[in-house]
Amino acid sequence: MHILKPIQQYPVSSVESKVGFKKLGRLLDNIMLRRTKVERAQDMGLPPRIVVTRRDKFSPDEEDLYMSLFTDYQREFDTYARHGTVLNNYANIFELITRMRLAANHPDLLRLKVDAKAKVGADSSDTLVCAICNEEAEDPILSKCKHVFCRSDAQMYVEGTDPSVVLRCPMCYAQFDIDLVQPEMKHSLGGGRGEDGGGGGATIMDTMISTPHTMDYRRSIVNRIDMQNWKSSTKIEALVEELSRHRQGNANIKSIVFSQFVNFLDLIQWRLNRAGFSVCRLDGRMSPTQRDAVIRTFMTHPEYTVFLVSLKAGGVALNLTEASNVYLADCWWNPSVEIQAMDRIHRMGQYRPIKVTRIIIENSIESRIVALQVKKQHLVNSTIGRDSKSLDNLSAQDMQFLFSS
């Protein structure tokens, strides 16, 4: 009561919350021994790492679109809050948050979500679309009601919902039943799909062009919009500016760009290619063989200076010490997810100083997500041994904070 209550019920900057964290820290100091990477960096021979946040503002057109969305979505959230059904509508609210995050990246990503919704219900033979994030599914799995989900999104949905609430499929609202450890579905190119997602003939991944650095335009967002009249976004141009500055200073410096949205990586890759960058790409749609090929290309070919990586696919089990810069193109409320991404280059074998840059849009939901990260990081630092996966879930209070004016 003296520790948990003030932490849960008061803002992290409040006196009550700080007292609760202080008491918790004293308790853990007496029962635990902790050695962090930062504390042991000298013993491990790790170079210094700095983390900075670059804050940019919407263009007038982007701001008009975003504020219109925020007003509508805030009204919808307030309706759930008044009726006490916030946790019952977890998937719906998560989609509202996702839409605002997409608007902060590029308006075209919102327009494509309408097409993605149609594909989810149309049993498209070419593309498996996640029913939660409405992106092409990474490590796709199938629910008992025959809807497709990214494995990580389905896990977050299951673990983030109040156990007392009957979990409903966000597509058909049937009782949600899914095996989170089932084999990955295959992307079928010919004929229909069976219950396991299989089908006759080769898979999309088997027929993907062999050069790992080339964009597969057949499935890309750039093949579905008019790129002749396409306008970039504030965030993409901020990234191009940062990478161009590195290239002017040292053409051999390598960088990794993380995003949670595959379609956003498509737009970034298209823009970087036209800015003269040689780009590699890794996402959850690639087979293990393709993953190994693209990593080897980035690590051994000096001309490839930018590596675009999906956060879902590249958070763990990667060693990319050839790079010395990390760009987080969109933020996540669990700070440990971003730390895992940073650790792809800040590990044994790295001898260059590391710089990590978060690119966020001011006066958007991203500013609030960064503030939420601070609160969750305090919780991590004060509750060592806590299940880190639980930090990835949004509580009702967290969602209220994200939708407040």
What digits encode the pLDDT tens for the residues 71-130? Answer: 999 999 999 999 988 878 888 888 899 999 999 999 999 876 545 444 444 444 457 888
The pTM assigned to this predicted structure is 0.76
The one-letter code for the residue type at 30 is N
For residue 54, the cross-strand partners are: 359
Domain ranges for the chain: 43-57+211-367, 60-207
Q: What residues contact residue 322 under an 8 Å CB cut-off, 6+ apart?
A: 254, 298, 299
- What confidence score (pLDDT) does residue 12 get? 62
Answer for the pair 27, 332: CB distance below 8 angstroms, yes or no: no
pLDDT digits (tens, 9 = 90+) for 155-209: 888 877 667 778 888 887 788 999 999 988 875 433 333 333 333 333 333 323 3
Task: Write the CATH number of the domain with boundaries 43-57+211-367.
Answer: 3.40.50.300
> In angstroms, rounded to a whole number, what is the distance separating the alpha carbons of residues 141 and 201?
20
- The region of weakest confidence among 169-183, 251-265, 328-342, 368-382 is 368-382
Environment class of residue 245 by beta-carbon count within 10 Å: exposed (0-12), middle (13-18) or buried (19+)? exposed
- What confidence score (pLDDT) does residue 392 get? 62
